[in-house]
A and B are shown apart, each in its own frame.
Chain A
Amino acid sequence: VSGSSGSSRSIEALLATKEIVVFCGSGGVGKTSVAAASGVAAATRMDGKVLVVTVDPAKRLADALGIEGIGNIERRVPDAAFTEAGIEPRGELWAAMLDTKQSWDALVMRHAPDEETAHRILDNRLYESLTERFVQSHDYVAMERLFEIHQTGKYDLIIVDTPPTRNALDFLDAPARMADFFGGRLLRWLTAPYRVGGKRGARMITMASKPFYSVADRILGSQFLQDIAEFFLNFQSMYDGFVARSRSVEALLHDKRTTFAVVTTLEDAPLREGEQFCDELVKRDFNLGALILNKTLPLATFGPEGAVAAARLRADAPTVAAGLTGIDDVDAAARVLTTIGTAFENFAVVARRETELRSELRTRPDVVVDVPTFADEISDLGGLARIARHLAPG
């Protein structure tokens, strides 16, 4: 983290040198579009293969990337789509969506000691709701899948859009938490009565786990508890595989080849959260590469010259209108001039607040980039290319 100010560098250097760029940020800041646009920027400037892994893209964006409804499969964005958008790609752009259920199934198949156990797990009626809920399972599979793709060595650059989570950095803890969970005392307690003595369902409760059971029984009923325990007993057979894998995933996230880009808007709440991500990343020794200020108002528009003109329009609209050539409805003209003067001043307040917040930024990675707001929503490659030009100008 440097102390430099201003948006002097672009993310082009990151895209050129890193193997993995992880985009994170709170909900609604445009993380997915920025991640996809970075992919476009990389593919238009560099040779090689770039993959964008997105989690929950808007339908039109998924359509534009050609990944709508195709699950975990990686797809190449056809050159024709680039040509249509008026861009000439140098490299290949690939895209994939994260399908949590598919990824979990694949994980179970890989780590289960034998096929029978794998199917016992997959067929358990608790499996689906558990993988949807426990230990931030979305985050875990997102990171796990990133590792898997990286290991194939098929891509020069992998760009990851992180899942929307309650706490946006949960995904960083997910591998470690997964390992903790499998090694934890509670899982041993829960499955102990069913392991000891070898006879499933025979409740041989140890002194240590007795209070746990008496309370859990009263709340949940013993049948339910037994269902859970059986499920986890099978699940536990994957312990070694999971723990080893979690460690590798963590190591990859900390590797020099991986960098993180935090996306935020210049609004109070998202910015506060964005700065917390930055702090947290630095604290945990991850590589914080860039801070992207998305959907900002264009500074060039809301400068002092415009303010002068707007003020004069608001003050003297009738006089100004009367002096214009060929405008007969002077009242209507004055009304419109007043309206645009007022609109300018309204937006200028927002622009000023953004400037203020920008200057107060606590964390400054080497790269701080502004991406201006666009009137229409980004839903195609052309739109992504527009963002890309701001992310990596020139």
Chain B
Amino acid sequence: MNGPDLLARRLLVVTGKGGVGKSTVAAALALVAARQGQRVLVVDVDAKGTIADRFEAGPIGFKPKEVMPGVSLLAMDTEASLAEYLRLNLRVPIIGRLGPLAGMLDFVATAAPGVKEILTIGKVCWEVRESMEGRADWDLVVVDAAATGHVIAQLGAADAIRDLVAVGPVRGQTEWMSELLADPAITALNVVTTPEEMPIEETIDLVGQARRELDVPLGAVIVNRVLPELFTRRDEEMFGRLTASPVREELAAAVGPGSEAVIAAAELAVAMRRSRVAQLVRLRAEVDLPTLYLPYLFARSQGRRETEMVATALAAELGL
């Protein structure tokens, strides 16, 4: 997949198994688009503050906050989303917080399948539609979505509601959302993974499940934390000769006893890379989506600087 293809959409949903760097990749994707001059809204669906951390932006709320030129962040809040929905669609004025109604929402949302999800994805779709109709500024909305286990329910909420709710305004309200989510010119669902067994397994499962159960078009698989290949085949042969006696001992004599540790580290790096490559082979055999690779970052593991570095790698993969 090249950059213009992916970044030409209006809504990029980013999911992945916990711990693979989903939020970092979502933030980096937004940054890539912003560097291309787009105005981007990033929606943090779990509202755990992880997206704000990626931009070192401090607390964020339901009202979009511009954290750098071209990038605004929004933390999902289903109560606020309901208040907004009631105000805009049913003309029920809500002043301040919902108060006792919040308890009701909490109850209905936990009890009624899809209510929480519809309020979440409804807000996302609403922002996309507003921007397409010129009432909001976004060229692109990036969603740091629920993890693989929940994202199907989230994206399928509009359809699920229509199956369950026979009448009522909600039914009518979900029609346009389904259409927007199903339009390949507008929406893409992207999966972040790492080259390890469980994340790859979940990615394969998710892609299959999304195809069976959702009308949402799939975008790219983004493989995060790919370890570099240390040697070409020829160099690997040389490495074998350098670590066989008597050369191995000569190395220790030349650079000190630490040569053993250096060799052990190289062997670990080669073996780690090899077991991960096996997972990548499996991914490519089972998933036919465009796949982007992001390198393992030795230097950083958090913050704005990491986001910048991942964005640069991502831009290169996208041919930008």
Decide if B67 is an interface residue (CB 8 Å cutoff): no
Task: Please encode chain B, from 168 to 181, with 1 for each CB lying within 8 Å of some chain A CB and 0 for all others.
Answer: 11110000000000
- Inside 8 A of B274's CB, which chain A residues have their CB? 375-376
Contact sample, A vs B, 28 pairs, CB 8 Å cutoff: A28-B198, A129-B113, A164-B149, A186-B107, A212-B101, A218-B92, A219-B170, A220-B112, A221-B167, A221-B171, A268-B301, A268-B302, A300-B261, A305-B256, A307-B258, A309-B257, A310-B258, A324-B247, A332-B238, A335-B235, A335-B238, A336-B235, A340-B239, A341-B262, A346-B298, A353-B301, A373-B268, A373-B272
- Inside 8 A of B230's CB, which chain A residues have their CB? 339-340, 343
Q: Is the CB of A325 within 8 A of B265?
A: no
Q: Is the CB of B201 within 8 A of A58?
A: yes
Q: Is the CB of A224 within 8 A of B112?
A: yes
Q: Is the CB of A221 within 8 A of B170?
A: yes
Partner of A215, one of B92, B263, B299: B92
Distance between B166 CB and nearest chain A CB, rounded to angstroms = 5
Query: B interface, how many residues as a size bin?
Result: 35 or more
8 Å CB contacts to A: which residues of B251-293?
Answer: 251, 254-269, 271-272, 274-275
In order of increasing CB-CB distance, the 10 nearest A-B pairs are: A28-B19, A27-B18, A221-B168, A306-B261, A375-B271, A309-B258, A305-B258, A129-B113, A186-B107, A340-B266
Q: Is the CB of B235 within 8 A of A349?
A: no
- Inside 8 A of B19's CB, which chain A residues have their CB? 26-29, 270
Q: Is the CB of B197 within 8 A of A377?
A: yes
Decide if B108 is an interface residue (CB 8 Å cutoff): yes
Q: A27-B18, A221-B166, A333-B238 are in contact. Are A344 and B197 (CB under 8 A)?
A: no
Q: Is the CB of B235 within 8 A of A339?
A: yes
Q: A134-B110, A224-B165, A340-B262 are in contact. Are A324 and B231 (CB under 8 A)?
A: no
Distance between A374 CB and nearest chain B CB, rounded to angstroms = 9
Query: A interface, how many residues as a size bin?
Result: 35 or more
Decide if A44 is an interface residue (CB 8 Å cutoff): no
Other than the known A129-B113, A134-B110, A300-B261, what 6 A-B pairs have Cβ atoms closer than 8 Å?
A133-B110, A215-B92, A301-B261, A303-B261, A309-B259, A324-B254
Partner of B110, one of A135, A323, A333, A349: A135
Decide if A166 is an interface residue (CB 8 Å cutoff): yes
Decide if A337 is an interface residue (CB 8 Å cutoff): yes
Residue of B nearest to A342 (CB): B230
Q: Is the CB of A212 within 8 A of B164?
A: no
8 Å CB contacts to B: which residues of A320-372?
Answer: 320, 323-327, 329, 332-333, 335-337, 339-341, 343-344, 346-350, 353
Q: Is the CB of A220 within 8 A of B18?
A: no
Q: Is the CB of B46 within 8 A of A221?
A: no
Q: Is the CB of B266 within 8 A of A60?
A: no
Decide if A380 is an interface residue (CB 8 Å cutoff): no
Q: A224-B168, A350-B298 are in contact. Are A27 and B108 (CB under 8 A)?
A: no
Task: Please encode chain A, from 262 to 278, with 1 for each CB lying within 8 Å of some chain B CB and 0 for all others.
Answer: 00000111100000000
- Inside 8 A of B115's CB, which chain A residues have their CB? 220
Distance between A299 CB and nearest chain B CB, rounded to angstroms = 11
Distance between A272 CB and nearest chain B CB, rounded to angstroms = 9
Q: Is the CB of B113 within 8 A of A133?
A: yes
Q: How far is the CA of A59 from the CA of B282 in the complex (A)?
A: 14
Q: Is the CB of B261 within 8 A of A190?
A: no
Decide if B68 is an interface residue (CB 8 Å cutoff): no
* Chain B contact residues, CB within 8 Å of chain A: 17-20, 46, 48, 50, 86, 90, 92, 100-101, 103-104, 106-108, 110-115, 147, 149, 153, 164-171, 194, 196-199, 201, 230-231, 234-235, 238-239, 241-242, 246-247, 250-251, 254-269, 271-272, 274-275, 298-299, 301-302
Q: Is the CB of B113 within 8 A of A343?
A: no
Q: A129-B113, A212-B104, A305-B257 are in contact. Are A336 and B231 (CB under 8 A)?
A: yes
Decide if A117 is an interface residue (CB 8 Å cutoff): no
Q: Is the CB of B147 within 8 A of A312?
A: no
Q: Is the CB of A301 within 8 A of B268?
A: yes
Q: How far is the CA of A352 from the CA of B188 in the complex (A)?
A: 39
Q: How far is the CA of A347 from the CA of B298 in the complex (A)?
A: 7
Distance between B139 CB and nearest chain A CB, rounded to angstroms = 29
Q: A27-B17, A224-B165, A327-B247 are in contact. Are A301 and B242 (CB under 8 A)?
A: no
Distance between B286 CB and nearest chain A CB, rounded to angstroms = 13
Q: How far is the CA of A301 from the CA of B272 in the complex (A)?
A: 15
Q: How far is the CA of A23 from the CA of B34 in the complex (A)?
A: 41
Q: How far is the CA of A294 from the CA of B199 in the complex (A)?
A: 17
- Inside 8 A of B272's CB, which chain A residues have their CB? 373, 375
- Inside 8 A of B260's CB, which chain A residues have their CB? 306
Q: A26-B19, A186-B104, A307-B258 are in contact. Are A219 and B301 (CB under 8 A)?
A: no
Q: How far is the CA of A58 from the CA of B279 in the complex (A)?
A: 13
- Inside 8 A of A212's CB, which chain B residues have their CB? 101, 104
Q: How far is the CA of A347 from the CA of B228 in the complex (A)?
A: 12
Q: Is the CB of B246 within 8 A of A134?
A: no
Decide if A379 is an interface residue (CB 8 Å cutoff): yes
